[in-house]
Structure 1
Amino acid sequence: MSASKLEKTLARVKQRIADQQFYEAHQALRTVAARHIKAQQYDHAIELLYHGAQQLLQAGEGGSGGDLARYMVDTYKTAKVPVNIESRLQVVTLFDLFKPDEPRRKEYIQDVVQWSGSNGDVKYGDPELFHIFGSAFANEDSPYEAEKFLLLGTKDSPVVLANMLFEWFSEDPSAYTVSFYISRAVLGYLSVGNIRDAKKSLDVYIPQVISSGRLGTNHQTATSSIGDTITVFPEYPLLNFLQLLIAVCQRKDADLFRRLRFRYKTELKDAAALDEALDRIGERFCGIQVRNQGNILSDLMGSFFAPAQSGNASVPQIQNSDLD
């Protein structure tokens, strides 16, 4: 298809949309795109589907526009289009046009995750796309959805995640739960082997907690017995535990890991839902074998789109369904 012919086709579709002939526009685009795909003219098909989806989504036709957006990503898969600047821009442009409550949006995201995982440079999907999706969910106050993407995002993702968790904690009347919120980030990142972002999330979260004044003034900087500088909170021991856990994981010392869990066994007993995550972390960093261990990344991807389980809203502990 020449550039002029493509422009004419899109102009006709645009006119149909302007005349509110949405069904006709949708069907025409699908038919022409299918013809190009059959002829292996994938670039032409993608161009038609991209612009057609844009126009329909801008017209508020989430169902028809979403269908064409999904068809575009399906064509990416068929044509083995890589994740690059151009394809990422197309994906994000269409994502931004979906209304948050549009059912096709979730399906579109799932298609993008599958495509980016099979054709990108990273096995489980494109971190930049994950960061964009996760940030959008964070802005929409959908923390369970946001964290699933941010845990596999970019170096900027832990900042977004920590800020979201602090805002969540700020709405909680109980200061006791301060550790449970940030444990979602720390244990989540450590479970996927990401020490850098586990530490970054704490580095962002703790100063905000201190500045809020909700924990009082009973805290101080100290050097731990293994030589790391941490902020000690005598009344909130799990915050101390999370800081020390990162230090132990950096050392990959199985004996230190066991001693740390034993030292905080009383506090961890009150947060039993953390056990599975700690088992996985111990196996990943210290080689401590635990039976029936799954692959955390595969589990994360496998249940990206399972219904969120909120559990006890006042104590958002890490649960198997939240990590996986």
Structure 2
Amino acid sequence: MPSVEARGGYYFFSVTFNRSLLVKVTCGSELAVMFVDALVKGKIPCDPEIVDRIRKIYKLFPQIPVPSNFAVEDDVQELTEALGAAKTRLQSCYSFLKAAIKWSAEFGADKNGDPQLHTMLAEYIYSESPEMDMAKVSYHFVRGNNLKKFATTLVNFMSKCYPGEDDIAIARAILMYLSMGNLQDASSLMEELKKQVQAQELEFPVSDLIQFINLLLLTLEKETLPLFNALRVKYKPSIDREPAFNELVCDIAEKFYGMQRRNPFQDMFGDMLKVSDLSN
């Protein structure tokens, strides 16, 4: 059981933070991280009540989307300050929620951290980041608990991204789910994406990469290893479009088929032996 002193510290930081009203984001962030530190030091178990307190703290962080419609005549300094402020807000909230996720992973039931906390962080990164990082957004959404929100975020991104980024974002999301062995949510996300795209009368991306993802989902449902290997070969150019995709596909092979990764050093050593044998 946590000590009385530890619990006292935890409640002190909880009450103090809520009264601070985040007069300054950085100060509020430091206090928020201290709150999580109190949870860790007190070995406070992760439960719905504490997660709800963290959610209330999270909602106190300012949510001010970075303006994207600055005119040419606008002051450059104003834009610079706006971007700097956005980065500060993002880093402050990110530090707090990352610490909270780490605490929940250590003292909760989910080894990846509480899904609700991952969803909060994914939403904040997407809405507040001046430099969109969909890989990081997706990383937290796939560990979260709001698949529909994830789909909505992806559809929103598709409506404003550069050509060729939409299918990569979709593929990344599906592959991330699959790399964790989560075929059900991967399939559900694809269905939800198509449903939302149709409802908004948008066009779903058509590319070899999307074709690979659709065939991959069908292949994993049937647990067909030869077909899986054939897909990797046929769609290698599409997989190579994103450096991280090859790693994710290797993770999928290991999760679903027990295929061990090849050690590049072993391959190198084997090649050296072959050369040595040929020279003798």
- Shorter-chain TM band: 0.7 to 0.9
Which of these residues, 80, 87, 91, is aligned with residue 54 of structure 2? 91
Q: Secondary structure at the match of 1:41?
A: helix
Residues 69 and 208 of structure 1: CA distance in aligned 2, closer, same or farther (over 3 Å) = closer
Contact persistence 2:172–2:245 (CA under 8 A)? no
Please, which of 40, 43, 59 is the counterpart of residue 77 of structure 1?
A: 40
Structure 1 letter corresponding to 2:5: Q
In 2 relative to 1, CA 191–59 (structure 1 residues): closer, same or farther, beyond 3 Å?
Answer: closer
- From 254, 262, 278, the equivalent of 2:225 is 254
Shift of 1:88: 0.6
Contact preservation (8 Å) 1:166, 1:181:
no
**CA distance in structure 2 between the partners assigned to 1:292 and 1:194 by the alignment:** 25
Q: Confirm or deny that 1:160 pairs with 2:149.
A: yes
1:249 and 1:286 in contact (8 A); partners too: no
- Aligned-residue CA RMSD (Å): 2.7
Matched with 2:25 is 62
- Report the equivalent of 2:71: none
CA contact (8 A) 2:25 2:61 kept: yes
Structure 1 distance, partners of 2:251, 2:92, is 34
Change (3 A) 1:66 1:59: closer
Shift of 1:194: 1.1
Distance 2:166 2:29 in 1: 39
**Contact (CA 8 Å) 2:44, 2:107: kept in 1 or not?**
yes
**Alpha-carbon separation, structure 2, partners of 1:51 and 1:272:** 45
- TM-score for both structures, normalised by structure 2: 0.73
CA shift, 1:242, in A, is 0.7
Among 40, 49, 63, the residue aligned to 2:13: 49
Q: How many angstroms apart in 2 are the aligned matches of 1:167 and 1:279?
A: 29
Using the alignment, how far apart are the partners of 1:104 and 1:178 within structure 2? Answer: 29
- Number of paired residues? 234
Question: How far apart are 1:256 and its partner, in Å?
Answer: 2.0
Q: Could you tell me which runs of 5 or more consecutive residues in structure 2 were left unpaired when the two chains were aligned.
A: 64-87, 265-280
Residues 74-102 of structure 1 show CA distances to partners (whole Å, capped at 9, x for unaligned) of 11112211111211111111111123533
Residue 253 to residue 67, structure 1, CA distance change in 2 (3 Å): same
The answer on whether the counterparts of 2:10 and 2:42 sit within 8 Å (CA) in structure 1 is no
Rounded Cα–Cα distance in structure 2 between residues aligned with 1:51 and 1:273: 43
Q: Which residue number corresponds to residue 250 of structure 2?
A: 279
The residue correspondences of 1:32-43 to structure 2 (distance < 5 A) are: 40-43=4-7
1:118 to 1:170, Cα distance in 2 relative to 1, 3 A: same
Percent identity over paired residues: 24
Secondary structure in structure 1 of the residue aligned to 2:45: coil
Give the alignment's TM-score, normalised by structure 1: 0.64
Displacement of 1:199 after TM fit?
Answer: 0.9
